[in-house]
Amino acid sequence: MKTTLFKFHSRPRAFTLVEMLIVVTIIAMLAALTLGGYTYAMRSSKRRLTTGTFEAIKLALERYNSEFGEYPQPAGSNQMMPFPPGTAAYDISGAACLYQALTGDGYDQIKGVTAASSSSAGGGSAGGSSDGKVEGTAEIKNKMFVEIPQTIFTKKGSTYILIDGFGHPFQYIKAALPSTTTGSGSSGSGSSGSGSGTTTATTINSTYDLWSYSEDEQNTTKQSINTLSDPTLSVKWIKNW
């Protein structure tokens, strides 16, 4: 008896549309998890860099205060400039003052320091502007940072500033000193009387307010004093109050 063998050739099975969608979804989820982890790691790294620089600035400000008997005061205010990657504007006046006061490179961003007094505070560059270099006896005297890494300062326009780990300028405001007014009036004993008045507070601390907006790009026009009425403004900030 003869047996006939039949051969069947099966066609390769292709993915269905549903299976393709499942695969694409899984790939997208894995990519999102990877990107999310990377973003979190980068943000944490930037905050650690900001915190380290923040503490170094505080120590340098104390050295400045010990050397000159006062904390530096920014020469200007509200020098707003945009910073990438977004379009948020930041005030660079405090960061410019900090750069000059703590590196000795220039003095025109420090209030009250002139060419005549630059030998005791601030640098000796022409016109008092920063040039990115620390040289000469006047500037060396005012060098509060032993070494200043390239990662914590940058040039914005024509101005050198101290920046945080996010590439944004540190914010710094010196506390206003109480103003005293003296008046005289006659009394039964013939002595004169005096009265005193105080200025409106611009800082939370009695010395200075120092902060970084960190990853917050929504409240970059808010000042430290604004957080007294609305503490939620500074949830993401790194600050000294």
**CA dist., res. 215 & res. 217, Å (int):** 6
pLDDT tens readout for residues 178-204: 755 444 444 444 444 445 555 678 999
Rounded mean pLDDT of the chain? 81
Residue 118 has pLDDT above 60, yes or no: no
Exposed (0-12), middle (13-18) or buried (19+): which is 207, by Cβ within 10 Å? middle
**CA dist., res. 121 & res. 75, Å (int):** 14
CA nearest to 129, candidates 155, 148, 152, 147: 155
DSSP state of 109: T
Q: φ and ψ at 216, to 5 degrees?
A: -75, 115
- CB of 50 within 8 A of CB of 165? yes
- The whole-number pLDDT of residue 190 equals 42
Residue 107 has pLDDT above 70, yes or no: yes
pLDDT tens readout for residues 19-53: 777 888 888 887 777 766 767 788 899 999 999 99
- The whole-number pLDDT of residue 135 equals 56
**CA dist., res. 113 & res. 123, Å (int):** 10
Amino acid, res. 15? F
- The whole-number pLDDT of residue 129 equals 82
Q: Which residue in this structure is represented by tokens 């007094």?
A: 117
**CA dist., res. 165 & res. 147, Å (int):** 17
- The whole-number pLDDT of residue 9 equals 59
Q: How far apart are the first and last CA of the chain?
A: 101
- Which residues have C-beta within 8 Å of that of residue 47, sequence separation ≥ 6? 165, 214, 215, 238
Q: Of the given ranges (112-126, 166-180, 227-241), which has the lowest mean pLDDT?
A: 112-126
- The whole-number pLDDT of residue 130 equals 81
